[in-house]
Amino acid sequence: MTVLVKITATGLDQSAYDHMVPGVHPLLKQQAGFIIHVAYPIPGGFAVNEVWESQAQHDAWYKEFVVPNLPDPNAMSTEYIELHAIVQP
């Protein structure tokens, strides 16, 4: 089932995000099941939303490539939402 992954990073700012992602984004584009990534500042932190073909594909990616680069993995809150439809150009 295709999922929207909503990650809220309390205390992470845009500078920390920008420092972490240069080596991660090229790898993300190559991951099986990856559809789209968006990131934006929120009050008190930063948010990342992604769409994946499955939660399992996201979780494997996140554990291998993202967690080792996080300043504080415990500051992350993740929500999964099963999607009904995706419209792409």
What is the value of pTM for the model shown? 0.90
pLDDT tens-digit series, residues 11-37: 888 998 898 888 889 999 999 999 999
pLDDT tens-place string over residues 32-71: 999 999 999 999 999 999 999 999 999 999 999 888 877 7
The CATH code of the domain at 3-82 is 3.30.70.100
Looking at residue 63, what is its pLDDT? 92
Task: Write the secondary structure of the chain as one string of H (helix), E (strand) and C (coil).
Answer: CCEEEEEEEECCCHHHHHHHCCCCHHHHHCCCCEEEEEEEEECCEEEEEEEECCHHHHHHHHHHHHHHHCCCHHHEEEEEEECCCCCCC
In this prediction, residue 66 carries a pLDDT of 87
